[in-house]
A and B are shown apart, each in its own frame.
Chain A
Amino acid sequence: MSQATAIQDRKPSAGGINRTFLWIEIKRMLRNRRTVIFTVLMPAIFFFIFGLSNKDQLLPNGHSYGQYILISLTVYAAMTAATGAGSQVAVERAQGWSRQLRLTPLLPGAYIAVKAAAALTLSLVAVIAQFVIGALAGVTMDPQIWLTAGLVAWLGSLVFAALGLFVGYLMPSQNVMQILGPALAILAMLGGLFMPIEIMGDTFGEIAKFTPAYGIGQLARSPITGEFDAIWIVNVLAWLAIFVGGAAMAFRRDTKRV
């Protein structure tokens, strides 16, 4: 039978990265009301509560406090978005989708790449939304500051996409974001995104330097503070390595257990 021979002679698939996959992933995220609340609404509310009142106070170097807070909260929005997107693997595992995907040619690496790309898309939405809210509220900055700070917040969110994947593969919970949400708020606070490191006191100021939101926050605000320290980059890369390593380990454990 010709059909039978055709089946035997088929070539292996390339592994599954493509636009349809990415597009459906992005649609799923944007349809999720909870994701939108965490990534757009909450940081916006924080900005209106903490940012607006101090918007026009000036930092020692002449930049406004409003800029400082807007950039910090944009980093927070981007990291929440990326973590939320990554952690969706927990839901997919619970629904048996990860297992179903093992019956397709999709390669694990391609799956992770699509997840990371979807996470970056969502965090880009978060960054843009935050900046639009800030601009509408009257925060002004030089174009290159908007751009640099936005890029750092956006690309830095990759660290948190890895955190989301890590936790998503570790936990069976459908409501993984209910745990991650508060945890991210604590990390944001410790990392100096809700209040400047300088006013946190010596102990917390020292602890802050070892937390995962610290490096990204400092780098993103660097254009307005005028400061730079290579240790911030070390902080970002170290946490990226830790979360990617953890995610890879949790992923392997998950696919082995049947």
Chain B
Amino acid sequence: MTGVPAVRAAGLHKSFGKVHAVRGLDLTVQQGEVVAFLGPNGAGKTTTIDMILGLTTPDRGEVSVFGRTPRAAISRGQVAAVMQTGGLLRDISVRETVQLTAAMFDSSRPVDEVLTRAGILDIADRKVEKCSGGQQQRLRFAMALVSDPGLLILDEPTTGMDVAGRRDFWSAIRADASRGRTVIFATHYLEEADAYADRIVLVRQGTIVADGTAAQVKNLASGRTVRATLPSGDRALLAGLPPAANVEYDAGRVTVRTSDSDSVVRYLLNNTGAHDLEVVAHNLEEAFVALTADEPGTDADRHALEGDRA
């Protein structure tokens, strides 16, 4: 089962002019994983995906797909992608599009089978230009299934879809992933990542800022902040706090970021001399924004920039 990783990226860098889109990104995806690539617009998700697919060459670093170069993996039909927009000929039918795609590969799944799995067999004879955005997206999905790839990459696949279309699209993807396919999808919707991925990779300004199960990343991003005034003599007692994401002490105030604020508050009041206590709640979305906001000057940034100069 283990085998080579589906994707292995090490030290990827990519700049476009003055924009340093990807800054030293490392990522390994094992076969069978469903990974969400989560981050705000401009975080470097699409650039990273383009490098995994060989559409863009990294300035520095290496990327391999099933142990091969991206091009070699594509040539073997091992990786396929559903891109955000474009990539369709308007003047041919849905079925012709899939036939044409299938013709490029040495071996491919039957056309009607992938049309069925993408849920568009009933519109197979419709011209692509007459299809709705959601139908075109399912067509891109069908095209990606044609080579029966081991790795499927989706770049913000539900952009512009309505709620129902989005749900249908994801249930098709989920049904497909349950057959053992490795799936990487980029999204800036936290709920999508939460609902459909078993691992979330959080990217911000071209680097990975968090990587874990949906629950772990949610904890990191959600939770509450507890602040209290704490006599400096009691600092040592902070070691006894229940597990918390982050504990800081500055100028007599302690700040605890935690997913379990009740326990933290109980501990602080029962076991230390903490007073003037306040609890601030973040909702999931705000926390996510806080974690991925484009503010330069944090430690992670400085490290990345120093790394660049070296």
A binding-site residues for B, Cβ under 8 Å: 1, 3-5, 7-8, 10-14, 16, 18, 20-21, 24, 27-28, 31-32, 92, 95-97, 99-106, 258
Closest residue of A by beta carbon distance from B150? A7
| Contact of A7 (CB < 8 Å), options: B66, B72, B74, B106 | B66
Q: A4-B3, A4-B180, A20-B99 are in contact. Are A100 and B86 (CB under 8 A)?
A: yes
Not counting A4-B3, A20-B103, a sample of 17 additional A-B residue pairs whose C-beta atoms are within 8 angstroms of each other reads A4-B1, A4-B150, A12-B72, A13-B105, A21-B103, A21-B104, A24-B96, A24-B99, A27-B92, A31-B91, A95-B86, A96-B87, A104-B101, A105-B75, A105-B77, A105-B105, A105-B106
A21 to B150 CA separation, bound complex (whole angstroms): 24
Query: Does B31 make an interface contact (CB < 8 A)?
Result: yes
Chain B residue numbers with a CB within 8 Å of A8 are 3-4, 66-67, 78, 150
Contacts of A101 in B (CB 8 A): 104
B104/A13 in contact, CB under 8 A = yes
Question: Is there contact, CB below 8 Å, between B89 and A13?
Answer: no
What is the minimal beta-carbon distance from B32 to any residue of chain A, in angstroms? 7
Contacting A at CB under 8 A, from B211-260, are: none
> When A7-B150, A21-B103 are in contact, do A1 and B180 touch as well, CB less than 8 Å?
yes
In the complex, what's the smallest C-beta–C-beta distance from B102 to chain A, in angstroms? 8
Q: Complex Cα distance A32/B127, Å?
A: 13
Query: CA A149 – CA B177 in complex, angstroms?
Result: 59
| B10 in the interface (beta carbon within 8 A) | no
Number of A-B contacts (CB under 8 A): 109
Across the interface, do A258 and B50 meet the contact criterion of CB distance under 8 Å?
yes
Quick check: B86 and A96 within 8 Å, CB to CB? yes
Closest 8 CB pairs of A and B: A96-B86, A7-B150, A100-B87, A104-B104, A20-B103, A10-B76, A12-B75, A105-B75
Task: Select which of A3, A11, A24, A96 is within 8 A of B92 by beta carbon.
Answer: A24
A28 contact set on B, CB distance < 8 A: 89, 91-92
Interface string of B49-87 (1 = CB under 8 A from A): 010011110000000001100001011111011010111
Residue B88 is within 8 A (CB to CB) of chain A in the complex:
yes
Q: Which B-chain residue is minimally distant from A18 (CB atoms)? A: B103
Alpha-carbon separation in the docked complex, A18 to B104 (Å): 8
CA distance A10 to B54 in the complex (A): 18
CB<8 Å pairs between A and B, sample of 21 = A1-B1, A7-B66, A7-B150, A8-B66, A10-B78, A12-B76, A18-B103, A20-B100, A21-B100, A21-B103, A24-B92, A24-B103, A95-B89, A97-B86, A97-B89, A100-B86, A101-B104, A103-B80, A104-B104, A105-B75, A105-B104
For B1, list chain A residues within 8 Å (CB): 1, 4
Which residues from A are CB-within-8-Å of B109?
none
Which residue on chain B has the smallest CB distance to residue A6?
A: B150
Is the C-beta of B90 less than 8 angstroms from some C-beta in chain A? yes
Interface of chain B: mostly helix, strand, loop or mixed: loop
Tell me how far the C-beta of B281 lies from the nearest C-beta in chain A, rounded to whole angstroms.
Answer: 43
Could you say which residues of chain B place their CB within 8 Å of the CB of A18? 103
- Interface contact A99-B55, CB-CB below 8 Å: yes
Beta-carbon nearest neighbor of A12 in chain B = B75
Q: Which residues of A contact B55 (CB under 8 A)?
A: 99, 102-103, 258
Within the complex, the shortest CB–CB distance from B106 to chain A, in Å, comes to 4
Q: Please report the C-alpha to C-alpha distance between residue A231 and residue B101 in the assembled complex, in whole angstroms.
A: 44
Q: How far is the CB of A22 from chain B (nearest CB, A)?
A: 9
Query: How far in angstroms is the closest Cβ of chain B from A248?
Result: 20
Known: A102-B55, A105-B104, A258-B56. A4 touches B32 (CB 8 A): yes
Give A3 to B106 CA distance when docked, in angstroms. 18
In angstroms, Cα B99 to Cα A24, docked, is 9
A106 CA / B143 CA spacing, docked (Å)? 14
Q: Is the CB of A13 within 8 A of B77?
A: yes
Pick the contact of A32 from B75, B88, B91, B149 — CB < 8 Å? B91
Residues of A near B100 (CB, < 8 A) are: 20-21, 24
CA distance in complex: A92, B128 (Å): 14
A11 touches B91 (CB 8 A): no
Contact A7 B78 (CB under 8 A): yes
Residues of B within 8 A of A16 (CB): 103-104
Residue of B nearest to A11 (CB): B76
Q: Which of B3, B83, B102, B149 is A100 in contact with, Cβ under 8 Å?
A: B83
Contacts of B74 in A (CB 8 A): 102-105
Residues on A with C-beta less than 8 A from B149 are 7
The interface residues of chain A lying within 8 Å CB-to-CB of B105 are 13, 104-105
Q: How far is the CB of B74 from chain A (nearest CB, A)?
A: 6
- Decide if A11 touches B86 in the complex (CB within 8 Å): no
* Given A13-B76, A21-B100, A104-B74: A95 in contact with B106 (beta carbons within 8 A): no
> Whole-angstrom distance between the alpha carbons of A32 and B86 in the complex?
20
Q: In whole Å, how far is A257's beta carbon from the nearest beta carbon of chain B? A: 10
Set of chain B residues within 8 Å of A3, measured between Cβ atoms: 150, 180
A5 partner residues in chain B, CB cutoff 8 A: 3
Q: Which residues of A contact B78 (CB under 8 A)?
A: 7-8, 10
CA distance A31 to B127 in the complex (A): 12
Query: Which residues from chain B contact A102 at a C-beta distance below 8 Å?
Result: 54-55, 74
What's the nearest-Cβ distance from chain B to residue A186, in Å? 28
Contacting pair B4 A99 (CB below 8 A): no
